[in-house]
Amino acid sequence: MTCAEGLSLQRVSAPFCIICLSTLRRHSSLSLCTVFQEDQFLSDSFHTHTRTHAHTPQRGHLQHRPIVMALPDTAPLLVGLLLLFHAFGAWAIVEVNMEDKVEVMAGETAQITCMFTTDEGLGGTTIQWFYVLPNKERQRIYNKEPMHEAAEQNTLFTHRISLNVNGTAAVLVIRDVGVRDNLEFICVIKTLTPEEAEGRTQLQVFKSPTFPTIEAVETGISVNEKDPSKIGSCRVKNGYPKPNITWYRNNMPLRNTPREVVVTSSTTIESSGLFSVQSELTMKVKKEDKDAVFYCEVIYFVPGATKMTESQHINITVYYLPTEVTIWVESPKGKIKEGDTLELRCDNNGNYPSSITTIKHQNSEYSVENKTMVRTNVKRLDGGVYECTFEETDNFEEISGSTKVSVNYLESAVITPKDSIAVMEGEELKASCNALSSLQTSTTWFKNEKLVSKGNTLSVKSATLETAGMYKCVVTVPEMEGMKTSSTLQVNVKGSPQILGPDVQEVETYETTVNLTCSATGFPAPTIMWTTSDGKNLNALQTETEDGAQSVVTFKITSNVKVFCNASNDFGSKVVEFNIKTIVHTTPTTTTTTSTNTITDDTVQTPTKSPNIKKESKGFVIAIIIIAIFLLAILGSVLYFLYKKGRICGRSGKQDFSKRKSSKDNIVVEMKSDNTEEAILLGVNGEKQQPNDQ
């Protein structure tokens, strides 16, 4: 429908329309509007009613604020009035445009912009700022008039706000924004007509919370609990808006599930206006939860985004009854032998704390410490079945497991015949050695630490005197190191004695007392007798040896004599002859001659000795004297050589020493013996000289 110039016609609801004046004379405070039916547009006269309106603009949109007056009466009167006011002029138009919201972090500076337009210009414009109280009332915080502007006193923003006007933009600046500034702000623009329009912006303040802290329950949780048990608590502090907490188990979020999972949260508003949230998780645990990882996730808001922070991960102790008990030999590894220390270990696939573990063996019960039982120096009777029993003391439920233990043994070696055996010379020697064992054994025979036979039986077809001796039987278990036993057997060969050494022995000596030794083998042990060629019996000391006897006789001699060693037993006798020759000791004559210096020493001519003559102590002294004389001669030769070379006594080696030779330069030692007629002369240089050289 079309209206006349200066009028706007809008359909309200058919068949009614509203006709309004769009432009009125300036400074007028009236507006004219009527609602009518289309067929009554120019009807009878109507009654007039006026009212001034201030419409609230829609946020975020350019707002047109006409001032209207409702005229419910007839159209003819309305047309007349419209023509009258049109003669006085048009109404002013004011529009305001603002953002729906402004987001800022706590502690920062917020800027709220109010964009406005008016056809009157800025000279007569008044700008006012308000915020909305919790009871929906307005509280003015800033007023700017053409000649004056200031922040309202005694408000939350008195000392923290300022207004910047740039053209048609009025910017409210709020410094050091806090969470209590999370309010709705209103910008009102007024003109001189007076016309006014307003816009609204929600200031949203954000504060990031602290890092979440999580605490797990310190005690264990049983899978047998009927009701959900507390797992842990998670807490986050000082956030705005209120943070949200979500629980996770193994990266899967947990939601409230009746009788299974319960998440309870509580919120605290701090004195600063910030939010602190605490969440507690309770749930029924299963055995699988012993390895589960729990944590909480905190979701909070920042300008233009949503952020998430995870807490540390925690584990819980889950107690569950075992379904299997296992017992095994922890030590020694491998086979067990008598004398070992046996260590049995018992464990189960549960971890219930209120339990008792015992080990039973042959109706005997043993305590278990740290799931381990130790028995030292075990015997074969310690083998058998060991049963480990686990008993849960709360419900008195039992579960058992068992293992069989074998203790291997090796008894002492037994030789048959026992201890010793005697066989006739030439007969067969036969002995056996056995040791009872739980495992396969190996037997060896040794004599004088030398291996002589392998196997249980020791056999010699034809025994000789050399066969006699001590034999050792050693029994071992090849598959187990350290299992060994042994026993000994003395073998005696019956037969006539044998004397060690030749039948006739020559002995020469300077001494008047001799010691003679006679060793004889044979079984029974022979008896040794000493006699001389003139029929005398000599007393001697006899001792038994491993394979016979030994006798030592000591006697004085004055002349050559024969001594007989006679060894005899039940099977015969043996005689050995000792021919003893005495050597008469003579004192040699020693003469020392010197012209100036004389060195006297004893020189003894040692007679030729038979290989069978025993060296006595006097002969040893004579040999020492001869060696000393020989060394003295060598020393003299060295001194003479040095003298000739001028190395001593200040003489030069170029001088002819032989031209000045005198009897004082030579030292002659004469050695005489009763067995020689010629004297041997030695110079200081050790060379042999003829008698006519003296």
Q: Is the pTM of this model over 0.75?
A: no
Distance separating alpha carbons of residues 498 and 549, to the nearest angstrom: 10
Distance separating alpha carbons of residues 514 and 280, to the nearest angstrom: 112
Q: Which two tokens stand for residue 445?
A: 């025979």
Distance separating alpha carbons of residues 309 and 290, to the nearest angstrom: 25
Read off the amino acid at residue 330. E
Per residue in 569-591, pLDDT (tens digit) is 988 999 999 998 888 755 554 43
Q: Which two tokens stand for residue 341?
A: 């220390």
Strand locations in 32-148 (E):
33-37, 70-71, 94-98, 101-105, 110-118, 126-132, 138-144
Distance separating alpha carbons of residues 197 and 203, to the nearest angstrom: 20
Read off the amino acid at residue 206. F
Q: Please report the pLDDT score of residue 314 as a whole number.
A: 95
Spatial contact of 342 and 336, defined as CB atoms under 8 Å apart: yes
Q: Which two tokens stand for residue 685?
A: 């240089």
In the chain, % helix, strand, coil (3-state, to 5) comes to 10, 50, 40
Distance separating alpha carbons of residues 378 and 366, to the nearest angstrom: 15
- The dihedral formed by the CA atoms of 605, 607, 612 and 614, expressed in degrees to the nearest 10: -40
> Under 8 Å CB-to-CB from 64, ≥6 apart: which residues?
93, 95
CA angle 625, 631, 637 (to 5 degrees): 140
Q: Please report the pLDDT score of residue 591 as a whole number.
A: 39
Distance separating alpha carbons of residues 21 and 35, to the nearest angstrom: 12
Spatial contact of 513 and 571, defined as CB atoms under 8 Å apart: no
Neighbours of 420 (CB within 10 A): 14
Strand locations in 225-324 (E):
229-239, 244-249, 252-253, 261-269, 275-283, 294-302, 305-310, 318-319
Spatial contact of 232 and 212, defined as CB atoms under 8 Å apart: no
The radius of gyration of the chain from alpha carbons, rounded to an integer in Å, stands at: 68
The CA–CA distances, whole Å, from 642 to 482, 594, 637, 645, 657 equal 73, 21, 9, 5, 12
Burial 586-617 (b: 16+ CB within 10 A, else e): eebebeeeeeeeeeeebbbeeeeeeeebeebe
Q: Please report the pLDDT score of residue 14 as a whole number.
A: 35
Neighbours of 178 (CB within 10 A): 17
The CA–CA distances, whole Å, from 615 to 509, 583, 587 equal 7, 11, 17
Q: Please report the pLDDT score of residue 635 as a whole number.
A: 87
Q: What is the mean pLDDT of each run of 10 residues along the chain (694 residues)?
A: 35 36 34 38 30 34 34 41 40 86 96 90 85 95 92 94 93 96 95 87 96 94 91 96 96 93 95 95 94 96 95 94 91 92 91 84 86 92 93 81 94 93 91 95 94 94 89 94 93 88 84 88 90 88 87 86 92 91 62 32 34 47 86 85 66 39 33 34 36 38
Closest to 454 (Cα-Cα) out of 466, 442, 472 = 442
Q: Which two tokens stand for residue 308?
A: 């998430």
Distance separating alpha carbons of residues 320 and 224, to the nearest angstrom: 8
Total residues found in the chain within this entry: 694
Spatial contact of 280 and 230, defined as CB atoms under 8 Å apart: yes
Q: Which two tokens stand for residue 288?
A: 């699988």
> Three-state SS for 687?
coil
Label residue 659 exposed, middle or buried (CB < 10 Å: 0-12, 13-18, 19+): exposed
- CA 217 from centre of chain: 28
Closest to 359 (Cα-Cα) out of 337, 326, 381 = 326
Read off the amino acid at residue 165. V
Distance separating alpha carbons of residues 429 and 468, to the nearest angstrom: 10
Neighbours of 408 (CB within 10 A): 18
Q: Please report the pLDDT score of residue 397 as a whole number.
A: 79
Read off the amino acid at residue 493. V
